[in-house]
Amino acid sequence: MMLRDKFLTAGLFLFTTLSFAQSVYVGKYNEISHTSLDSANNTIFVFFKDYYKKIDLETFEIDSVKIVVGPQFGFIGAKPVLVNSNYYFVHTQGGIVYKLQNDTIKRIDNSFNHKMQINSNIFVYDDKILRYGGYGFWSARNFFTYFDTDLLEWETISPVNSKEVPKGTFDGLYILDNDNAYIFNGKSIDDFNKTEMYFNNEVWKYNFKLNEWRYLGTSEFIDLTHFPHPIRYKKTLLVLYTNGISTIDLGNNKHTKFKHGKYSNNVIASLNHYFLNDRFYFFTFRSNSANYNVNLRSASENEFMGEFISEKPFYSNYNLLKGSFSLVAGLLFMALLANFGFKQFKKRKKIVLLDNGLRFQNKFIEFDEKAMEILKLLVLGTEVSSNKILSIVEEKQYSAAHNERIKVQKLDEINLKIKTLLAFSEDIVQSKKSDNDKRIRLYFINKNLFFLQ
């Protein structure tokens, strides 16, 4: 009877695995702190407050391990990094490093939380923990640091063979391909106004063997608003969007778009997902679950990625086009003609920004000079700081509080006039606190409403 039961159990497990494409319950969504992939051991770790679950990706069996966490440790401010099967937790703002030792998370560094590398890229190269970039005190870094496991301190990497270096960035993306690190899609700080930040469209490659930077070109902005965690897919970065999938291959300068597959539209956007051994491993909510219970699922490439849509270069370097000027000029002329016709069509359905006001279809509304200056900043630029708007409207003879009221009144006037023009009920100009510095308030506008040249 016992032998028969074993055969029945094994058969049931095999049937379940083959029939339901491997899925296992992980835990409640609001209790998960981080996830991490151990590709060497074919395992995914899911970290909770005082324990972690280790999931075998071949069998989907789970081991739950209790851990001891010190009172100063916080999962939210630390990123798990795996080096030679050892887990480190790197503080996302500064130099603090913890290590999982004998099921206890202990601080091991001789550094401090200097808050100078906020939103830097953190990754592993040559069995070392590296960071690139980061924001801190109205500036951004443009160099790599690594954690020295002997000194337990952070050291810098000097680009000694470089003829040029990139501008400092933070909150960007990276791709690690052998000895090359590609840095792109970050934000930079304005040289002349340290409270202003902007999208840096430059793409750079750093070779760790040569210690050399190389400028590759400029790229379009990759929007991570809805899916902030791209997937490391082979030698590319896979980005999920609401309406499809993109892969970015910087080694071959390709930006490829696909439709969603069977499963890619159902992943939990705020968690990390993984690709290993020709399969995707991703987290989804359990169906009909009111408690936001989370499952780990597995799918093949064909199940996760849909039909091919298009492919084009990801970055452009116009210095390389000088030898083909005539061809480019001809193509540009044709494109301008087509674009002119397209713009005329778009103009009919968009707000047109004039020197003295706004025109929408057959209606016009006039604005004063200061209001127009504010509108042009919002429409033609990115997020605008409160200080920038204040510098436009302030009167030197008034107090700071009075000038702040003038600024608010001017923004209210702009919102009211645009709502009247469009027959809208909601404010067009809105504000939020900066993600990187809560003291800074940023104003922005819905640019989709405007006709941009």
| Whether the Cβ atoms of residue 295 and residue 23 lie closer than 8 Å to each other | yes
The per-residue pLDDT for 321 is 52
Name the strand (E) or helix (H) holding 194: none
Report pLDDT digits (tens) over 347-399. Answer: 677 888 888 999 888 889 999 999 999 998 888 888 899 999 999 999 989 99
41 Cβ contact partners less than 8 Å away, ≥ 6 residues apart = 85
Q: Which residues of 267-290 are buried (b: 16+ CB within 10 A; e: fewer)?
A: bbeebbbbbbeebbbbbbeeeeee
Question: CATH number for the domain including 354?
Answer: 1.10.10.10
Q: How many domains does the chain have?
A: 2
140 and 228 within one domain: yes
CATH number of the domain encompassing residue 296: 2.120.10.80
What pLDDT shows up at residue 428? 87
Q: Letter for the amino acid at 43?
A: T
Which has more pLDDT, 55 or 19? 55
Q: Is 81 in the same domain as 178? A: yes
**pLDDT (tens digit, 9 = 90+) per residue, 162-201?**
999 999 999 999 999 999 999 999 999 999 999 999 999 9
446: DSSP letter: -
pLDDT score of 329 more than 90: no
* Side-chain-side CA neighbours of residue 115 (13 Å): 4
Same domain? For 300 and 423 the reply is no
**CA dist., res. 117 & res. 141, Å (int):** 7
pLDDT tens track for 270-310? 999 999 999 999 999 987 666 789 999 999 999 999 999 99
Higher pLDDT pick, 451 / 100: 100
Q: What percent of the chain has pLDDT over 90?
A: 66
Tokens 């849909």, located at residue = 306
The 10s digit of each residue's pLDDT in 45-78 is: 999 989 999 999 999 999 999 999 877 787 778 8
DSSP-assigned letter for residue 61: -
Cα(113)–Cα(98) distance, rounded to whole angstroms? 12
Domain contains 241: yes
Question: Does one domain contain both 65 and 196?
Answer: yes
Residue 95 DSSP class: S
**Residue whose pair of structure tokens reads 């395992």 in the numeric block:** 43
Of 264, 399, 347, 303, nearest in space to 21 by CA:
303
pLDDT at 415 exceeding the cut of 50: yes
Look up residue 404 and give its two tokens. Answer: 């702040």
pTM of the model: 0.67
Q: Same domain for 314 and 374?
A: no
- Which residue range is the domain that position 139 belongs to? 22-318
For residue 139, the model assigns a pLDDT of 95
For the chain, counts of helices (H) and of strands (E): 6, 36
Residues 280, 427 share a domain: no
163 and 48, same structural domain?
Answer: yes
